[in-house]
Amino acid sequence: MERWRANAMATGTMGYLAQIYEMVRNDAAELEQKTAALDAKKSAVLSTVNRLLRFMSRVDALTSRVEALEAKRKADEAAQRKLDEEPIELPRDIAEYQTRTPPHTRRSYEWFPIRYHR
């Protein structure tokens, strides 16, 4: 093969290889930029998910507290209803005493040993 033809083929091949090298290098840089962008999106999504999980744990804690208070309220109401249903019977001697002696009609300040007025 002639020297000029070999030089032309080598130059063409080297030029083509240089173009391929540039394409690979550009693709690698573009891929690196996409990877950085995806990492940024991933960290933002993870941050949002973590904040949401913390919020949900607080909501769960509040829900359990409300449920406990509601159960206590219902138990208290049931106990109060049970107490209200039971008739109160005074012992015989107390009932008789109350019917024989009327309640005191003193003023509230007269019950104290210190005289505030007069």
In a domain, 112, yes or no: no
Q: What is the pLDDT of residue 7?
A: 64
Q: Which residues of 70-89 are buried (b: 16+ CB within 10 A; e: fewer)?
A: eeeeeeeeeeeeeeeeeeee
2-31 average pLDDT score: 74
More reliable by pLDDT, 31 or 118: 31
47-52 average pLDDT score: 97
Q: What is the pLDDT of residue 4?
A: 56
**What torsion do the CA atoms of 46, 52, 56, 58 make, to the nearest 10 degrees?**
100
Q: What is the pLDDT of residue 106?
A: 55
In a domain, 109, yes or no: no
Does residue 99 carry a pLDDT above 90?
Answer: no
Q: CA angle 18-22-24, nearest 5°?
A: 115
Number of domains into which the chain is organized: 1
Put simply, whether the predicted model's pTM sits higher than 0.85 gets the answer no
In a domain, 111, yes or no: no
Give the side-chain half-sphere CA count within 13 A for 63: 6
50-67 average pLDDT score: 97
Domain residue limits at 8 = 3-101
